[in-house]
A and B are shown apart, each in its own frame.
Chain A
């Protein structure tokens, strides 16, 4: 079955960087666009970024544009989110997700990022 396992979260100071990973299995990773979605404590779900199936197209929420970079390594079936210039408001649980248009989405369990001095 589909498995998405995020890792790389932790506590970082404002202005620092962090890279999240999402290991995918149980489906043809190279055929699907992949997303990062986050949820700040006590808040709703916020889409962060998407990368096309082949990595050729990437789009970002305005709140992270210019600071975050999404990428994928098909040889490792892994999705990444490079987060630079982190701010307190980036504190959230980060989920990776596959959200096909006409099929059931799949989500990971999430990894917590805390930005605090």
Chain B
């Protein structure tokens, strides 16, 4: 049973470009969460999605960040007009339901130059 998959594993973008991060949940999981870990900081929640619905985006920055989980295909976290402060590890997690264990993917390390 494949785990949570994320790609790319490493992404380098210049300031002002767009970053698109992809996450495929574990088989049988329909709940997806995105977290960000800034250098030398803890893990912070960004957004919680189910298929075709954003359930909770209280942790998302108000501008430039968006997320989706379409009926078909992976969940996507999009960052427009990236700035150096966006450099971080972005982790996706999935669970089979609310309140259950969340399993993390390997993460995408975003570097903004």
Do A and B belong to a common assembly? no
| Interface residues in chain B, defined as those with a beta carbon under 8 Å from any beta carbon in chain A | none
A residues whose Cβ falls under 8 Å from a Cβ of B = none
